[in-house]
Amino acid sequence: MTNDTGAVPMNPLVREPVVLASASATRRQLLAEAGLCVIVDGAAIDEEEIKAAFRAEGAAASVCAEALAEAKAMRVSSRRPGMLVIGADQILDCDGDWFDKPRDPGAARTQLMALRGRRHGLLTAAAVAKNGALIWHASDRASLTMRRFSDAFLETYLEASGEDILSSVGAYRLEGLGAQLFERVEGDFFTILGLPLLPLLDFLRSHGVLAT
């Protein structure tokens, strides 16, 4: 449930609200389920332009994810004085190829066929800004190996999953049917979902947002 300001109501363990500079429903849910009072204020940045620039420089996907998270936090912080603003981003890297959210089921099919039987990394970053200054950032990596599923399974999976998978850089939701795509998963579950949640919570405790 949300109130009229778009924030999840406060609970006794939370002392002040935070702003999420992202329209990601999954990230908002992670923060809300951890008890935070979340105000969503999506950042309007040109992610494709930033990614293209980092690719041209030969930068690592983790560096680009950090830059995107920081850019989001900084953009929204300028219009949210006095508040802690959280930016986050995630990039899927498979042997140097970066994958974005698929634009349609056909693109999801192509992406999953490219990842089938291979290991890829999810590079997840978060940043916090206040009053236009970056005050914290963290990043983490998870490694996932897809099994060699059949073409028939892939078609059934796409039909059963619907458009939900279009909101994920990997065309899967590990917390749902996407679990059936994998033979091995290494890394923090929250990182896979798109947020280095535990380090973020630790930071928020240190800044008085959460009870200690």
Q: Which of 41, 89, 93, 140 is catalytic?
A: 89
Q: Tokens representing 163?
A: 């458009």
CB 141 within 8 A of CB 122: yes
Tell me how long the chain is: 212
Three-state DSSP string of the chain: CCCCCCECCCCCCECCCEEECCCCHHHHHHHHHCCCCEEECCCCCCHHHHHHHHHHHCCCHHHHHHHHHHHHHHHHHCCCCCCCEEEEEEEEEECCEEECCCCCHHHHHHHHHHHCCCEEEEEEEEEEEECCEEEEEEEEEEEEEECCCCHHHHHHHHHHHHHHHHHCCCCCCCCCHHHHHEEEEECCHHHHHCCCHHHHHHHHHHCCCECC
Say whether 89 is catalytic. yes
Q: Which amino acid is at 81?
A: P
- The catalytic residue positions are 89
